[in-house]
Amino acid sequence: MKQVKGKTSTGQSGTSGTENLPLSHVAMIMDGNRRWANKHHLPGVVGHREGVKSLKRLVKHVGALKLSYLTVYAFSSENWQRSEDEVGYLMQLFTDVLTDEFEELSDNKVRLRFIGQKSTMPDALRQKMEESVKNTEHNTGLNLQIAINYGSRQEITEAARQLAVEVREGRIQPDQIDESMLSGFLYTRDIPDPELLIRTGGEMRLSNYLLWQSAYTEFYVTPALWPEFMPRHFDEAIREFSRRERRWGGD
């Protein structure tokens, strides 16, 4: 049975002990914006704005650490069920962030990509997303994937549909389909699977996020709500990851 032992990290805070990262791809479930707002007796939209600040801190931090890939869960396909006012605010917030923060992302050499069903997003936001992807495609720093209007079951279902079309058109035979081929039809087809998934807010579930890609991903859950998440929390997650012995399969 294949085993991979993580590297030992000795740092206690900040970037200390995490400069030589033992992994290349971290996925995040950014949970707790609304709970943070309730905790501070503030409107929920304030929590979302604070959540943007937390993401900016994290992107800057992991860029300095030379992390190769960061994938964050910004808006799930189920989030459309929230109130019309909240969804409308989030769509405008995403648009504003891409407008106001783009220059800083570009200066930091971030390559920005989006995974999810982009075709159903509001026109103004979809246009900003397309522009951001095009204008950062040659950047050589952090690869930042933002999962927006994303659901993993939806992603896998769509991949299965595309494979079915390939079979119907005679381009492949059913017995040629394997895990690698199916992976090639996912949104993340040119991105390595995450070695670590961090969830903020203390909840112990995947919430329909990267189900296929996380088959052997290590999970780390912190009680810190997303607006409270600081670089030191990320560093502690990396240190915990480095202490684990990863296994593929059973014991």
Q: Please give the C-alpha separations between residue 93 and each of 36, 128, 219, 235, in angstroms, as whole numbers.
A: 18, 12, 29, 28
Question: Active site residue: 20, 33, 79, 149, which one?
Answer: 79
Distance from C-alpha of 3 to C-alpha of 21, rounded to nearest angstrom? 18
> What secondary structure letter does DSSP report for 90?
H
Number of H helices, E strands in the chain: 8, 8
Distance from C-alpha of 212 to C-alpha of 193, rounded to nearest angstrom? 9
Question: Active site residue: 31, 143, 149, 235, which one?
Answer: 31
Identify whether 79 is a catalytic site residue.
yes
Greatest CA span in the chain, whole angstroms? 60
Opening angle at CA 237, ends 14 and 61, nearest 5: 40
* Bridge partners, residue 114, by sequence: 146
Q: Are 145 and 59 in contact (CB under 8 A)?
A: no
Crossing angle of helices 44-64/84-100, nearest 10°?
Answer: 30
Distance from C-alpha of 126 to C-alpha of 119, rounded to nearest angstrom? 8
Q: Are 117 and 159 in contact (CB under 8 A)?
A: no
3-class secondary structure per residue, 111-153: EEEEECCHHHCCHHHHHHHHHHHHHHCCCCCCEEEEEEEECHH
> Which positions are annotated as active-site residues?
31, 79
